[in-house]
Structure 1
Amino acid sequence: MPIYEYRCSSCGAQKDVMQKFSDEPLTKCPECGQETFSKQLSAAGFQLKGSGYYVTDFKNKPSQCETSPCATCPSAGAHS
């Protein structure tokens, strides 16, 4: 379940709330009782680890042509 950050525009109270995607957004501030409690835009707090992610599998790696000469390259033998 995601954690949403809420803030009251009346009293400034802030609270993190764990909710399902299907739950209705909260509107009533738990501190002042006003209907000015709303979700805030915040950064995602996760990191991809393990195999199968960009850092290990999809990072731009030098091609074989860049690391050793090959006969199939248009500039065969002109590698630096």
Structure 2
Amino acid sequence: MPIYEYQCKACGHQLEALQKISDAPLTDCPACNKPELSKLISAAGFRLKGGGWYETDFKSGSDKKKNLAGDSGASSGGNSGGAAA
């Protein structure tokens, strides 16, 4: 379940709420009890790391060697094991 951030427009109180995507947004502020909560836009809580795993994971056949991270577009036969440091 995603964590949503809210801020009260009346008192400025901020909170996080663990909610299902299908749940209705919160409206009442727990600090001042006014219906002034609004969702904040925030950065995602995860990062995709690695040398192009998404480029190669679900490909098959001759497409497997194309678009590797650190590759200049050529699909040569040798694989050096990753990008140079």
TM-score between the two structures when normalised by the length of structure 1:
0.66
Q: CA deviation at 1:38?
A: 1.1
Which segments of 5 or more consecutive residues in structure 2 lack a partner in the other structure? 56-66, 77-85
Q: Which residue of 2 aligns with 1:27?
A: 27
Paired positions, count: 64
Name 1:61's counterpart in structure 2.
Answer: 71
Kindly provide the CA deviation profile for residues 10-45 of structure 1, in whole angstroms up to 9, marking residues without a partner as x: 000000110000000000000001110111011111
Provide the C-alpha distance between the structure 1 equivalents of 2:11 and 2:21, rounded to a whole number of angstroms.
26
RMSD between superposed Cα atoms in Å: 2.6
Kindly, what percent of the aligned residue pairs are identical? 49
* Superposition deviation, residue 59 in structure 1: 2.1
Correspondence list, 1:1-80, <5 A? 1-49=1-49, 52-53=53-54, 58-62=68-72, 63=74
